[in-house]
Chains A and B, each alone.
Chain A
Amino acid sequence: MDKSHPKNTPQRQNWRSMLKARPVRNTAATTRENDENQLCVVVKTQKPRYMFPPISWFVPYNPQREVILDGVGKQLWLWCDGQRDVEEIIDLFKDKYQLSFHEAKTGVTDYFKKLVQRGVLAVVMDKD
């Protein structure tokens, strides 16, 4: 309120819609467990249009991508059953590891972002 200390109206951030989104696994993904209690998620990749000779002679192309999830990642993956929303998953994660809500939120949403970027997870938002 002091003129020497001007301040703008605080930004009204609202995470409600993000928390109500539902993460769903890529239905085309297959999973297998390894000996180290990790989960290997495999998704097929689309062959890029430029992948023809002579480029394909030099640039390797793998028709599938593997994403290895550690114990914590595996647990998050299992919670993504298409029914639970992000908020419910954060609550489960928070309770399991005795974290605060925002601590858990940061971890869960960052992890989901990575899984979405790697094509193994999609996030469904409600229309409203």
Chain B
Amino acid sequence: MESWAWNGIHLDLPDDWELIQFSKDPRSGRCAFADRYQLRFELDWAVVDGPPDFARMVSDYKAKLEAEEVTDLRSVQHAPWYGVFGRENKLPISRYGAFFPARSLLLEIVFLWPEEQKANNAFEGRVMDGIRVPAQNDDALRQWHAFGIDATVPDNHELVECNVHTAYAEMLFADQKERTQETFLRRGMVSEWLDQPLQEWLESKLPQGYTVVSRRQSTHASHECWQLEARITRPVLKDWLWGTRHYQACAWICPQDKRLHMFSRIAHQPKNAPNALPDIRMACCADHQRGF
């Protein structure tokens, strides 16, 4: 099973199921996972005021499905999940809903079983048991784990961009006022495109208008990391108000997955509290994690 974490929702799914559709909205959205042939699992979330009346919801939903000519309908339950099983065009489909009070989240999950397979209740139960919605922790950090990126960012930072292509995944987070931005990048097929030393490549990623103040190289668990710090060259009014903008970046090539991992942050750094920025971290494998 492979672990996924999206919008504070943690789940474990079979290794060959991949995230192929996602929403960025933390209040309401959807993620869909597929094996190599078809969609297999869907996760929907919505922030609600309180726990819904599941018994009524299930009966209403059953009635709706009946009207849509879904056959073999029956209620199913796997605490705290309530659900409905049915067949649509003879294909088994299970839907479940549960409320997670830690973050007032109503989750709905859908298992889409292929034609040649029967719905497997034990497997569904294992997946449901693995779904966790942790409450905000003491250090107020949230883990995101998708597309091979394992990122930890402040809990109140939202995913504002997520670009995924072949051998390329990038996630950009920002606080609501966009005073702090974090970028996490994971790139594969390194031998095909990286035609310069990693430290030079990292420097080429420096945003315009920043001056490098320090460069560092270190090795942890066979991971050779390059780190860069820079400061805005010409401060403007907002730098006087909230502190000078500061850029930090770190990159390495993981010897295990052979991919380039890079994360960076642009943040206002107040003069009176230079270390006030919350932690961010990126992990590439069980052996290696970096942060600042």
Please give the residue numbers on chain A whose beta carbons come within 8 Å of chain B beta carbons, in ascending order.
1-5, 7, 9-16, 19, 71-72, 87, 97-107, 110
Contact = CB atoms under 8 A, between A and B. Distances in A.
Contacts of B34: 13, 102
12 contacts: A1-B57, A4-B46, A5-B48, A5-B108, A9-B88, A10-B112, A12-B112, A98-B259, A101-B18, A102-B18, A106-B165, A110-B166
Contacts of A97: 167, 188-189, 192
A5 B106 contact: yes
B158 to A, nearest CB: 20
A16 B34 CA distance: 12
A19 B143 CA distance: 34
Nearest to B189: A97
Interface in B135-168: 148, 165-167
B28 A100 contact: no
Given A12-B112, A14-B38, 8 more contacts: A7-B44, A7-B108, A9-B93, A10-B112, A98-B257, A99-B188, A101-B36, A102-B36
A2 to B, nearest CB: 6
B38 A100 contact: no
From B16, B42, B61, B166, residue with most partner A Cβ within 10 Å: B166
Contacts of B58: 1
B165 A15 contact: no
Nearest to A91: B36
B112 A2 contact: no
A27 B259 CA distance: 37
Contacts of B32: 10
B258 interface: yes
B39 interface: yes
Contacts of B91: 12
B61 A1 contact: yes
A5 B112 CA distance: 19
A127 to B, nearest CB: 19
Contacts of B166: 99, 103-104, 106-107, 110
B112 A14 contact: no
B287 interface: no
Interface string B251-292: 000000111000000000000000000000000000000000
A85 to B, nearest CB: 13
Contacts of B52: 2
Interface string B85-111: 000100101010100000000101010
Contact of B167 (A9, A19, A87, A99): A99
Contacts of A3: 57, 60
A71 B192 contact: yes
A105 B52 CA distance: 40
A23 to B, nearest CB: 17
Top 7 A-B pairs ranked by shortest CB distance? A107-B166, A1-B97, A5-B46, A102-B18, A14-B38, A1-B61, A97-B189
